[in-house]
């Protein structure tokens, strides 16, 4: 077969495949990269303007910070010293009052800590442990719920060849009764989600590129 005939056939096949399959993966990546570069350039220009304005303000008012105005200066050392002296005076008074109470108990042979105080302290500690455990359990459940929502969104996310934005998952949540009755519901739920994701991708993507090329080539040969 003549080289020119082969070149024309190759050109026709590539043109037909491009019309059927749409832009290639490299072309879509290049388009996305171009949009990202435009946004990055706009952000860099905006940041450069802010930096230039800060430098100009610092040169115009050397006594001011580049990010803090002169009216927002921190307190003076005398103010810190005065605040430190007040805090120290209050602590000394509290320490003296507690020391006098302990000495009074020792002089009168009273126990330093009563049984009621010790019991209330233990009860308070136990209550704090319970509250911390409930808080940690709630945080763990929230994180598992977030992971489940992410897995649900994968099913409804459009592929690269499809148009449209991301769609939120509309599938119902896992029933609370199932969580309470089945201790292994997490593993079963992950397996079910993996199966649904694989099935959805297969249904949306259809035949692979090699399979479509083989079908077109067979039809062209016939």
**190 or 40, which is more confident:** 40
Please report, for the chain, the start and end positions of each structural domain, with discontinuous segments joined by +.
Answer: 19-74, 76-112, 114-222
Flag whether the pTM goes above 0.85: no
Burial group, residue 36, by CB count within 10 angstroms (0-12, 13-18, 19+): exposed
**44 or 181, which is more confident:** 44
Helix then strand then coil, % of the chain, to nearest 5: 75, 0, 25
Angstrom CA distances, 76 to 65, 85, 124, stand at 16, 15, 42
Q: Cα Rg for the chain, rounded, in angstroms? A: 36
Q: What pLDDT does 21 receive?
A: 73
pLDDT band for position 40 (cuts 50, 70, 90) = very high
Residue 45 pLDDT greater than 50, yes or no: yes
What's the CA gap between 206 and 65, in Å, rounded? 61
Residue 128 pLDDT greater than 90, yes or no: yes
Q: What pLDDT does 93 receive?
A: 94
What's the CA gap between 187 and 184, in Å, rounded? 6
% of residues, the chain, pLDDT over 90 = 23
**pLDDT one-digit tens code per residue, 59-118:** 776 555 555 555 666 677 888 889 999 999 999 999 999 999 888 878 887 776 778 888
Cα(first)–Cα(last) distance of the chain, in Å?
A: 17
Residue 9 pLDDT greater than 60, yes or no: yes
Phi, psi of 190 (to 5 degrees): -65, -40
**128 or 11, which is more confident:** 128
**150 or 94, which is more confident:** 94
């Amino acid at each position: 077969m003549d080289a020119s005939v082969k070149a024309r056939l190759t050109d026709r096949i590539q043109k037909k495949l491009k019309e059927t399959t749409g832009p290639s993966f490299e072309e879509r990546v290049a388009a996305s990269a171009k949009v990202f570069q435009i946004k990055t350039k706009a952000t860099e220009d905006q940041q450069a303007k802010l930096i230039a304005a800060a430098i100009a303000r610092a040169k115009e008012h050397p006594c001011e910070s580049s990010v803090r105005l002169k009216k927002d200066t921190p307190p003076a050392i005398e103010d810190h010293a005065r605040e430190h002296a007040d805090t120290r005076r209050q602590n000394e008074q509290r320490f003296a009052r507690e020391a006098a109470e302990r000495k009074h108990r020792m002089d009168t042979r009273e126990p330093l800590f009563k049984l009621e105080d010790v019991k209330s302290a233990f009860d308070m500690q136990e209550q704090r442990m319970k509250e911390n455990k409930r808080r940690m359990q709630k945080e763990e459940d929230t994180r598992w719920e977030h992971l489940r929502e992410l897995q649900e969104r994968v099913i409804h996310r459009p592929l690269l060849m499809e148009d449209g934005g991301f769609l939120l998952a509309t599938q119902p949540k896992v029933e609370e009764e199932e969580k309470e009755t089945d201790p292994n519901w997490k593993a079963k739920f992950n397996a079910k989600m993996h199966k649904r994701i694989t099935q959805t991708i297969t249904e949306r993507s259809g035949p692979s590129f090699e399979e479509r090329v083989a079908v077109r080539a067979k039809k062209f040969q016939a």
